[in-house]
Amino acid sequence: MNGTRMLADLDELATYGVDPGGGLSRLGFTAEEDSARRFLREAAGRAGLGSTVDQAGNLFLHPGKALPDDPVVLMGSHVDTVRRGGRFDGAYGVVAALEVLRTLTEHDLPTRHAPVVVAFANEEGARFPCPFWGSLAVTGQLDAAASTVDRAGHSIREPLARAGGDLDAIGDAVWPPGAVGAYLELHIEQGPVLESRGVPIGVVTGIVGRAIVEFDVRGRQNHAGTTPMDQRRDALVAAAKLVLRIEALSAERNLCAVSTVGELGVEPGQANVVPGRARLTAEIRDLDAARLEVAEAVLREEAARIARETGVGIECVTTMRSAPVRTAPPLRAAIEAAAADLALPAMAMPSGAGHDAQLIAAVAPVGMIFVPSRGGISHAPEEYTAPTHLVAGANVLLHAALRA
Ligand SMILES: [Zn+2]
């Protein structure tokens, strides 16, 4: 594998979508992303490889002129970014896969299935708010009608067509059963675990599921000066108790992996008024569906208890739920063996972030490899992974593809 060539590709890719404010804003289905994809197709062409775009705008790079009919070993990720994101999230997995494909073809190395590279369309959903657009489309899970307009009201039709897709024929992007024999996604960790343990390779055991519960706390708005403390029904005080119970769910009680209150609103929001209403969200994640279910049930019990104790009303609605996904044991073993071949320390770990692999898992065995993120920072201009780790991860991808 030519690490220098891969790093040069990554540098080149980082020139598309440079944001004057810092970082990369290479949103899915924009001119910036189009240029990045053009660069990838040209790089593939220079290596004697072909490229294909499906109806959903997913870009495939492959040996020969057309995508093979037989099952493939698919490797890749995405090249779109969030606003002012980093240069490694997604892009690294695609350029590494391209380097692996070039290496396999140049040296005529045998893989069980024909190797193909993918850059999935609109993984982040930063412009058109449908994250995982491309991987949802190929697995037949995309509700295109519900997600075709950006925040400014522009249809996805034209941008999708410019990328090589076709909104009217998007159903044709669905893969036939068995089309993908294995999917391997190499990605930066986007968290601090590998760096803090000093381990260069993460073997992903699965991608956590999550639930978002919205709470509407109703107390009684009243005068902050004349209402005695024992006669208040303060919505914010009740909400504050709930915030701490939500934190304790994971931090103290270990009922789920992480639990977060990311939104909290108070009404009317004045210094001299006892708050009458508070709204907040709880987001919980875990790799185990049963644990997630229990944590959600406990959360609702806690809310009911706080409502009784404080005399407020608390309504809760679960607005989002996604199931955890496990990576395929044979691919996990292939990645572990690949790391061992290369004498690279590796550790098993879950992914707390979502990835295309979690959608692809519905139709094909998936495996994921992580490399360290400096300071655990991602979705930010400061995102960074050392070149030695980038090359090591790509080598593991190559060796895993040979074993997949
Ligand atoms: Zn990503």
User: Confidence band (pLDDT; 50, 70, 90) for 148?
Assistant: confident
In the reported structure, the alpha carbon of residue 224 is separated from the centroid of ligand 1 by a whole-number distance in angstroms of 48
- Which of 258, 289, 322 lies at the terminal end of a domain, its last residue? 322
3-state SS of 235-278 is HHHHHHHHHHHHHHHHHCCCCCCEEECCCEEEECCCCCEECCEE
251 and 105 fall within a common domain: no
In the reported structure, the alpha carbon of residue 149 is separated from the centroid of ligand 1 by a whole-number distance in angstroms of 22
DSSP 31: H
pLDDT exceeds cutoff 80 at 404? yes
Alpha carbon separation from 324 to 214, 253, 259, 333 (Å, rounded): 20, 20, 15, 20
pLDDT score for 143: 85
Q: What is the CATH number of the domain that holds 61?
A: 3.40.630.10
In the reported structure, the alpha carbon of residue 81 is separated from the centroid of ligand 1 by a whole-number distance in angstroms of 8
In the reported structure, the alpha carbon of residue 23 is separated from the centroid of ligand 1 by a whole-number distance in angstroms of 15
366 and 308 fall within a common domain: no
- Report the relative pairing of strands 114-120 and 72-78 from DSSP bridges: parallel
In the reported structure, the alpha carbon of residue 230 is separated from the centroid of ligand 1 by a whole-number distance in angstroms of 51
231 and 143 fall within a common domain: no
pLDDT score for 58: 98
DSSP 175: P
The stretch 118-142 carries a mean pLDDT of 95
In the reported structure, the alpha carbon of residue 108 is separated from the centroid of ligand 1 by a whole-number distance in angstroms of 30
In the reported structure, the alpha carbon of residue 247 is separated from the centroid of ligand 1 by a whole-number distance in angstroms of 27
In whole numbers, what is the pLDDT of the chain averaged over residues?
96
CB neighbour list of residue 69: distance below 8 Å, 6 or more residues apart: none
In the reported structure, the alpha carbon of residue 193 is separated from the centroid of ligand 1 by a whole-number distance in angstroms of 17
70 and 95 fall within a common domain: yes
In the reported structure, the alpha carbon of residue 308 is separated from the centroid of ligand 1 by a whole-number distance in angstroms of 43
Q: What is the pLDDT of residues 300-352, one digit of tens each?
A: 999 999 999 999 999 999 998 989 999 999 999 999 999 999 999 999 999 99
230 and 92 fall within a common domain: no
Q: Note residues around ion ligand 1 (Cβ under 5 angstroms).
A: 89-90
In the reported structure, the alpha carbon of residue 258 is separated from the centroid of ligand 1 by a whole-number distance in angstroms of 20
Q: What is the CATH number of the domain that holds 279?
A: 3.30.70.360
pLDDT score for 26: 98
307 and 258 fall within a common domain: yes
- CB burial of residue 288 (10 Å; 0-12, 13-18, 19+): middle
Torsion sign, CA atoms 64, 15, 355, 388: positive
pLDDT exceeds cutoff 80 at 145? no
In the reported structure, the alpha carbon of residue 355 is separated from the centroid of ligand 1 by a whole-number distance in angstroms of 6
Helix axes 3-13, 31-46, angle to 10 degrees: 160
In the reported structure, the alpha carbon of residue 189 is separated from the centroid of ligand 1 by a whole-number distance in angstroms of 9
- Tell me which of 152 and 396 has the higher pLDDT: 396
In the reported structure, the alpha carbon of residue 309 is separated from the centroid of ligand 1 by a whole-number distance in angstroms of 43
- Which of 256, 290, 322 lies at the terminal end of a domain, its last residue? 322
117 and 13 fall within a common domain: yes
- CB burial of residue 22 (10 Å; 0-12, 13-18, 19+): exposed
- Which of 303, 322, 341 lies at the terminal end of a domain, its last residue? 322
In the reported structure, the alpha carbon of residue 358 is separated from the centroid of ligand 1 by a whole-number distance in angstroms of 12
pLDDT score for 249: 98
In the reported structure, the alpha carbon of residue 24 is separated from the centroid of ligand 1 by a whole-number distance in angstroms of 13
pLDDT exceeds cutoff 80 at 146? no
C-alpha 334/C-alpha 102 separation (Å) is 20
Place of tokens 């590796």: 346
* Contact criterion met (CB below 8 Å) for 58 and 137: yes
The stretch 76-87 carries a mean pLDDT of 97
pLDDT score for 247: 98
In the reported structure, the alpha carbon of residue 95 is separated from the centroid of ligand 1 by a whole-number distance in angstroms of 13
pLDDT exceeds cutoff 80 at 147? no
Structural domains counted in the chain: 2
13 and 97 fall within a common domain: yes
316 and 329 fall within a common domain: no
Structural domain boundaries enclosing 315:
209-322
pLDDT score for 129: 87
pLDDT exceeds cutoff 80 at 384? yes
C-alpha 44/C-alpha 61 separation (Å) is 7
C-alpha 133/C-alpha 56 separation (Å) is 8
In the reported structure, the alpha carbon of residue 63 is separated from the centroid of ligand 1 by a whole-number distance in angstroms of 25
pLDDT score for 279: 98
125 and 23 fall within a common domain: yes
